[in-house]
Amino acid sequence: MPEALVIVKNVLDLEARKGYQNTAVAGGMENFISFFNQKSSIEQISSEDREILIFFFKSYSSYSHNKRKEIIDELL
């Protein structure tokens, strides 16, 4: 598994442990996009997978607690 996806998994695991409060990444999940985009480009993660995850990180703060849990469970 590419390192970028391992890091995403770790962030999502941490977010679940913290109760889906948008605190796994300092300043919120949206702040993870730049790092993820750069790392996933280097590791040649498919553009489709990259777009799905970037959309998720951009939208995360607008999701309800239940929706956050549902999506994170699905991604993991």
Predicted TM-score (pTM) of the model is: 0.90
List per-residue pLDDT tens for the chain, 76 residues long: 889 999 999 999 999 999 999 999 999 999 999 999 888 888 888 889 999 999 999 999 999 999 999 999 999 9
Q: What is the pLDDT of residue 70?
A: 97
- 26: tokens are 């300092």
Give the span between the Cα atoms of 23 and 28, in whole angstroms. 6
* Distance set, CA 6 to CA 10, 36, 52, 62 (Å): 6, 11, 16, 25
Distance CA 9, CA 28 (A): 16
